[in-house]
Chain A
Amino acid sequence: MRGAIQATRMELLRRRRRLALARRGHRLLENKRDELMRHFLGLIEQSRGLREEVEQKLAAGLRLYLAARAEMPRWVLEAAFLGAPRPRVNVEVENVMSVPVPHLSLTDSNAATNINGGFRPLYGWMNTPSQLDEALLTLRSALEEMLRLAQLEQAIELLAEEIERTRRRVNALEQRVIPRLEEEIRYIQAALDEMERAAHAQLRRIKGAAARGSDR
């Protein structure tokens, strides 16, 4: 490869500029990796807490639902859930440090089911136990948190990929690009020095020859 390098001052300047650029890029990528890592660890911590919360809510919601189910014959349950709103999930994309992260949100098919930010079940209250309300409220809240968890876990996955990509770039710069440029600069510098020394020696020889000529 060295054979392909032209040992010129222009080439040396070009290599030095590229080295400076590579070092700056390396520093920036290192900063990006560190920031992504910090964000990543924060998300991991959040998701761990959220997962515990979701699991607790699901268990509580299912327990309440079981208690409600035990009090209702099947025909009451089937009639109660006739036309129950089907939640829809909206997916939008947010940009977190140039990583496109999905943002998930929940909407009811029937907006009028929302009351004070809560949820009113669409069934009569004479044959249904109030534990059914509590179960649905808890399970709905669990569903919202499951979406947040899914969003977090997807973000974690995407950030992990981005961290890996950034780490590979940092390593490539650190292990290959920068040492190679440094080596090339050293080579050009050495070649230029050599040429300079050769030129200098030649000049001295010419000067010596010229001095000997004038003596004669």
Chain B
Amino acid sequence: MSLAATLVGLEQLDLEDERYAYASGSVRSREPKLLDEAALARLADAESVEEVWRLLIDAGFERLSDCPPEQYEEALMGEILDLYAYLRSIEPEEESVTDWLASRYDFHNLAVALKGHALEQGPPEGAWVEDIGRVPPKLMETAVRTAVWEALPLHLAKTGQEAREAYERSGHLAPIDFAVERALLQHLYETAFHPFLKALAALWADLARLKVALRAKALGLERTEWEPLLAGFPMEKISPQELKELWEQPLENWPEALPGEFGALVSQSLQGGRWDPACFEVLCDDFVMEHLRAVRYVAYGPSVIVAYALARETEIKNMRIVLVGKRHGLSSEEIRRQLRRSYA
């Protein structure tokens, strides 16, 4: 049974959870507005960025009509802010799936605060993500600067201390990012209050671990350099031990040694024996989306909200890919290669 089927099966067991009935209904009414594959193809084939902008406004992204295409970053950020404001407005009071998702932005802000503090300079304003996570960036910055960790939620305080220690041990900034990213995956896994969320967090962790290993191999890092990067991920289908054993082997041998679905991702990214990391990343995102799409057949539950939120985030990512590509003259073919699969 595929993971998608497992997820749907788990969700069906949760049918009696009526707390999400209103939220799920609201989300379902919005899902038809998501850009489908045909709409994405039209965007990729548009003649200019202005035409893309017009197509998006026609598709219902009214916020875009307030600004010119040059301000696409602000407009897309506005879309994300709108999305999280909407999710908070519909979710049940007892448990927050939005907080679970938004914790990614809190961890991002924590990394920014730690790196800014390590550099003894305030991070640029554009590095912060405001109004999505639970902890305001200013509070985060103050807590990191003064080392008064009690001001932060426990998971962020613990991560902050660990990341700072990692930085002090190495003297480099990268360990801050890696410590924060590992802690985020661990946090998502541990705080997942529903089997669907648990399975999704485990899938993210597995893909993240595989990506780290493959990226390190592509960069030619020594085993001693990349091994610490893999430590601390939630354990699921791919163990660090398996990756260590695989490391010595050529990439051609990886597909067979990895669990089926992950092996297929690596195999498809090895085109003519040449490793294509960009293709692998697109396939990984599409793989997650494939699992999210299974939620379309679920009546209600937190999975409906999460799938919609991630579908919208993917849609915004696709919009950015098209806008940046068109602005800088990338061909339709190049843009299409980068586009992620749509939820719709």
Contacts and interface: CB of A to CB of B under 8 A. Distances in A.
Contacts of A69: 324
Given A124-B111, A125-B211, A131-B277, A115 B221 contact: yes
B325 A66 contact: yes
B177 A124 contact: yes
B115 A83 contact: yes
A131 B338 CA distance: 11
Contacts, number: 118
B38 interface: no
A92 B220 CA distance: 31
A127 B212 CA distance: 11
Nearest to B340: A71
B123 A78 contact: yes
Q: Which of A63, A69, A121, A125 has the most CB of B within 10 A?
A: A125
Q: Which of A123, A130, A133 has the most CB of B within 10 A?
A: A130
Nearest to A129: B281
Interface residues of A, number: 32
A125 B181 contact: yes
A110 interface: yes
Contact of A67 (B118, B185, B278): B278
Given A70-B338, A71-B321, A73-B320, A123 B177 contact: yes
Nearest to B218: A130
Nearest to B74: A74
B177 A70 contact: no
A5 to B, nearest CB: 75
A112 B338 contact: no
B213 to A, nearest CB: 10
Contacts of B221: 115, 120
A75 B127 contact: yes
B237 interface: no
A75 B320 contact: no
A97 B339 CA distance: 57
Contacts of A131: 277-278
Given A115-B219, A124-B174, A75 B321 contact: no
B112 A82 contact: yes
Interface of A: 63, 66-67, 69-71, 73-76, 78-79, 82-83, 110, 112, 115-116, 118, 120-127, 129-131, 133-134
18 contacts: A66-B325, A70-B321, A70-B325, A70-B338, A71-B320, A73-B77, A73-B320, A74-B73, A75-B112, A79-B108, A82-B115, A82-B124, A82-B127, A116-B220, A123-B173, A124-B178, A125-B215, A127-B108
